[in-house]
Amino acid sequence: MKKALKIVVLAKQVPDTRNVGKDAMKEDGTVNRAALPAIFNPEDLNALEQALVIKDMNPGSTVQVLTMGPPRAADILRDAMFRGADGGVLLTDRKFAGADTLATSYALSRALVKLQPDIIVAGRQAIDGDTAQVGPQVAEKLGLPQVTYAEEIVSLDENQIVIKRRLEHGVETVSCPLPMVMTVNGSAAECRPQHAKRVMKYKNAKTPSELQAVDNDYLRVQCNCKEYLNIGEWSVADVDADDNQLGMSGSPTKVKKIENVVFQAKEAKRLTSADADIDGLMAELIASHTLG
Amino acid sequence: MANFFLDNKDLQYHLEHPLMKKLVELQERGFAEKDLYDYAPVDFEDAMDNYRRVLTITGEVCGDVIAPNAEGVDEEGPKVVNDHVVYAPGTAKNIEAVTKAGLFGMTLPRKYEGLNLPLICFVMANEMVARADAGFENIWGLQDCAETLNEFASEELKAEFLPRVSRGETCAMDLTEPDAGSDLQAVMLKATWDEAKGTWLLNGVKRFITNGDGDISLVLARSEEGTTDARGLSMFVYDKRDNAVKVRRIEHKLGIKGSPTCELVFTNAPAKLVGDRKMGLIKYVMSLMNAARLGIGAQSTGLSEAAYREALKYAHEREQFGKPIIEFPAVFEMLTNMKAKLQASRAMLYETTRFVQLYKTYTHISHERKLEPEERAEMKTYTRLADAFTPLLKLMSSEYCNQLAYDALQIHGGSGYMHDYPIQRIYRDARITNIYEGTSQLQVVAAIRHVTTGTYLSQIMEYEKAECPGDLDQIHKRLVAMREEYEKAVEKVVSAGDNELIDFHARRMVEMAGHIILSHLLLRQAADLEEYRTSAIVYSKYGEAQIKAAAEYIANSCNGDIDLFKQVLDEH
């Protein structure tokens, strides 16, 4: 009999930088979040799938999703519940705003101390910042071992998990004791789709603030009596965090300068397969230190 | 990142039909299950929101998984390994995706773990799956077999099999045999009661069985020894886990290659009786076939949608004589007619679905309680309309599906004839729609009595009562004239008192009724939404011309004509 595990997925709602239009950036070089649709960070979906795989391997386990963000980030918690997560917690407070990776991982680690998971699963990195720092920093702050670039769970028992990692030059299989943190690579299995029954069951799941804004009495009564419709909403006070390590003040990252990089593709060259053309190209590549 | 529901306004339009309110109330029995199941809706708005969400998920799986797999599935196809079917890898992935999305047991009651969606949602999902891959639509759509179990099987059988369907096990309906195709009365597969084992045993061969190696099979078999007609046939359910049926071969088909068409050998296969003995063909298969025909209506419409989109895209991209070919009248005329036929097919599909759904729901309710007199009257009306519209839908939509695929390939020119574009697959897939589940010729046989008894005419008169704002009145006048032509033609044929003459002109008359009904449905939509104006005008003009041609042919024909056509019988 396997032990029921407590799994927490770290997820982020990000602007969809894959479909960037003309107005994606503001004049000052910052991201124009209003112009981009907010989506579930893609590699966090890979992470959610791995968490659900662990749950499938260990029936009785629970998967909670933790996200830090503005109130509308509750959308990705609902999305996760539609796909198989048991519930979610939204970490939201003005004091969290403006956090870099250090302040973010501090805030998340405070919430994780409260949640006490056996396994923490995060996506490798988010498509808005591409730092890949938050997962490892959370592990450091909690003093937990970590496995990065995870691609597949090979086996799992009460004390350890065996994971395949996707590295630049190949695949590595490692074992790690629990509790632990893993960050999941985009090459891992895609997340399962939303499930029809779960969508119907969880579509009215709300955070307490969202529920306050609802002007439908019936719905409010429902949410009050159905525990599974309640999405957790924690403030700084709820996670007992130190204000100085949060938000702007807890973020040592200072943006020095932002440049608009415009790719200037030069016109393509057309070469024939004649030796002279190839020799010429080789000479050019060697001269530019592209080769050799 | 495609979504076949969200990218299709016409499809979404049909979900919002005024009749939905009534239909949902009945389907949900006044929302009686809202406190019993955590996914049951609490009111009409809640239910509609559920439907939109489930269809959105379906649209996403279709666009992101099933459609991209279609080409590979078409090339690789299923195989027989150790007497069983192994699906193409893409098919296996499709099944995994629809299972994980919970898209099985779509219309089954919640007590059997189903989603309890109205039939219209299932038909819409069917249409989207067919647009993505018509062959896969067969495998997924066969979950509809469970409806026959739900309607006629014992509570014990329902409890055993229906939850399995809801969890994603696939179905098959085993009817056809080498010598029993359109004529199912000739079925010979033998069912014998084995007293020692306490079970029925099936022995014999079935042929052309779609998804024949499915987990749960409904089998038509001869249970009454010594009989040779329909009255000796019963319906059985066979569980694949009993491992007593071998797949001898898979047919090598022109299209829908992902859908395995099997020849099956039953050897002492244990099976359970569904419903009553001797009612297999007379009652249960008729119900199965009607549902299957509605399914082909959805499949045809989905394929038409795919064909239209491929043609439209290519016509914009392809340049000749210095401009995109869509700018040439020959091409834009084709595309506009295609769109009108596509929208007409879809209008007919959902009109028929509503009729079928209403009569089926009343039937289920009649098993739960006594119907009120007015409910009984409604049930009778909708049963009759469902009966009349189902073959007409199957006929019109599958023929249009073929026409659209043909025209779409034509627009692609030489490139369309090559394996480089999806249209060649759509063209091959489309070809089966007016053949299986009853050929077009057989649909006419089923539909003609509604010409002679006046079901179509009375429904057309109902449609004529609708008000037509502004200049849509012109179309209305045209449709009245078309109906008069139709009445005149029918009168001429029927009054001759010669059944052979009725048969001879049957298809012409049935199609006349079809053109008028389809025109009315589009006109009604145009009165509701400006977007449908063009299709309503284009289709009614097209229908008018078709009706004039048929009317002319009938007016000029005489009894002796049939003999001219019979001369071919002497040729060898």
Least confident of A279-288, B168-177, B305-314: A279-288
At B382, list the tokens. Answer: 């909708």
Nearest to B101 by CA among B137, B146, B45, B62: B62
Instruction: Please provide the average confidence, as pLDDT, over all residues in chain B.
Output: 96
- Confidence (pLDDT) at A1: 41
Indicate the angle between helix axes B455-464 and B499-528, nearest 10 degrees.
20
Q: Which residues of chain A lie closer than 8 angstroms to B97, CB-CB?
A: 193
Q: Confirm whether A46 is domain-assigned.
A: yes
Q: Does B48 touch chain A (CB under 8 A)?
A: no
The two beta strands, B199-210 and B319-320, are: unpaired
What is the tens place of the pLDDT at every residue in B52-87? 999 999 999 999 999 999 999 999 999 999 999 999
* Residue corresponding to tokens 């985009």: A186
Residue of chain A nearest B103, judged by CA positions: A196
Q: Is the dihedral of CA B106, B271, B249, B295 positive or negative?
A: negative
B279-438 has which CATH code? 1.20.140.10
Q: Does B2 touch chain A (CB under 8 A)?
A: no
Confidence label for A18 from pLDDT (cuts 50, 70 and 90): confident
Q: Which residues of chain B lie closer than 8 angstroms to A201, CB-CB?
A: 38-39
Q: What is the ipTM of this complex?
A: 0.90
Q: Confirm whether A167 is domain-assigned.
A: yes
The two beta strands, A87-91 and A119-123, are: unpaired
Beta bridge partners of B250: B262
Q: Confirm whether A59 is domain-assigned.
A: yes
Answering whether pTM is above 0.90, one says yes
Residue pair B516/B547 in contact by the 8 Å Cβ criterion: yes
Which of A193, A196, A228 is opposite residue B97, by nearest beta carbon? A193
Residue type (1 letter), B400: Y
Q: Confirm whether A223 is domain-assigned.
A: yes
At B262, list the tokens. Answer: 């099997």
Which of A192, A196, A222 is opposite residue B54, by nearest beta carbon? A196
Instruction: Please provide the average confidence, as pLDDT, over all residues in chain A.
Output: 89
At B276, list the tokens. Answer: 């009553």
B107-143 core/surface letters (b: 16 or more CB in 10 A; e: else)? bbbbebbbbbbbbbbbbbbbbbbbbbbbbbbbbbbbb
The two beta strands, A170-177 and A38-40, are: unpaired
Do A196 and B49 make contact, defined as CB atoms within 8 angstroms?
A: no
Q: Confirm whether A20 is domain-assigned.
A: yes
A150-167 core/surface letters (b: 16 or more CB in 10 A; e: else)? bbbbeebeeeebebbbbe
Residue of chain A nearest B98, judged by CA positions: A193
Peptide bond into B78 cis (omega under 30): no
| Helix ranges (DSSP H) in B142-188 | 145-152, 155-166
Q: Which residues of chain A lie closer than 8 angstroms to B40, CB-CB?
A: 200
Report the C-alpha gap between B169 and B164 in whole angstroms.
Answer: 6
What's the rounded mean pLDDT across residues B557-570? 89
Residue pair B522/B343 in contact by the 8 Å Cβ criterion: yes
Report the C-alpha gap between A61 and A56 in whole angstroms.
Answer: 8
DSSP helix/strand/coil, B448: helix
Q: Phi/psi at B31 (nearest 5 deg)?
A: 60, 40
What's the rounded mean pLDDT across residues B521-528? 96
The answer on pLDDT for A288 being more than 60 is: yes
Confidence label for B181 from pLDDT (cuts 50, 70 and 90): confident
Do B53 and A203 make contact, defined as CB atoms within 8 angstroms?
A: yes
B442-560 has which CATH code? 1.20.120.470
Give ∠ CA B456-B462-B463 in degrees, rounded to 5.
90
- Confidence (pLDDT) at B4: 98
Nearest to B445 by CA among B486, B488, B391, B518: B391
Q: Which residues of chain A lie closer than 8 angstroms to B140, CB-CB?
A: none
Do A218 and B42 make contact, defined as CB atoms within 8 angstroms?
A: yes
Residue type (1 letter), B34: K
| CATH number for position A56 | 3.40.50.620
Residue of chain A nearest B166, judged by CA positions: A197
Q: Confirm whether A284 is domain-assigned.
A: no
What's the rounded mean pLDDT across residues A192-209? 95
Nearest to A108 by CA among A133, A71, A82: A133
Q: Which residues of chain B lie closer than 8 angstroms to A200, CB-CB?
A: 39-41, 50, 53-54, 115
Q: Residue A34's domain spans which residues?
A: 6-245
B1-169 has which CATH code? 1.10.540.10
What is the tens place of the pLDDT at every residue in B267-276? 999 999 999 9
Candidates B53, B94, B124, partner chain A, best to mutate (most A CBs within 10 A): B53
Do A203 and B97 make contact, defined as CB atoms within 8 angstroms?
A: no
Q: Confirm whether A220 is domain-assigned.
A: yes
* Residue corresponding to tokens 């063909």: B281
Q: Which residues of chain A lie closer than 8 angstroms to B42, CB-CB?
A: 218, 222
Q: Confirm whether A13 is domain-assigned.
A: yes
Nearest to A204 by CA among A82, A92, A85, A86: A82
Candidates A197, A201, A225, A227, partner chain B, best to mutate (most B CBs within 10 A): A197
What whole-number percentage of chain A has pLDDT above 90? 60
Q: Which residues of chain A lie closer than 8 angstroms to B100, CB-CB?
A: 192-193, 195
CA distances, B199 to each of B267, B273, B388 (Å)? 14, 9, 39
User: How far away is chain B from the Cα of A203, in angstroms, using its nearest Cα?
Assistant: 9
Residue pair A136/A182 in contact by the 8 Å Cβ criterion: no
Q: Give the CB-side neighbour count of residue B149, counting CA atoms within 13 A.
A: 34
Confidence label for A2 from pLDDT (cuts 50, 70 and 90): low
CATH architecture, domain B171-277: Beta Barrel (2.40)
- CB neighbours (10 Å) of residue A180? 20
Report the C-alpha gap between B381 and B394 in whole angstroms.
Answer: 20
Residue type (1 letter), A49: E
Answer with the residue of higher pLDDT: B476 or A211: B476
At B404, list the tokens. Answer: 């659209």
DSSP helix/strand/coil, B202: strand
B188 exposure class (CB count in 10 Å sphere: 0-12, 13-18, 19+): middle
Q: Which residues of chain A lie closer than 8 angstroms to B54, CB-CB?
A: 196, 199-200
Domains identified in chain A, total number: 1
- Confidence (pLDDT) at B565: 93
Which of B40, B41, B101 is opposite residue A195, by nearest beta carbon? B101
Domain locations in chain B? 1-169, 171-277, 279-438, 442-560
Q: Does B101 touch chain A (CB under 8 A)?
A: yes
Least confident of A28-42, B94-108, B402-416: A28-42
Residue pair B88/B135 in contact by the 8 Å Cβ criterion: no
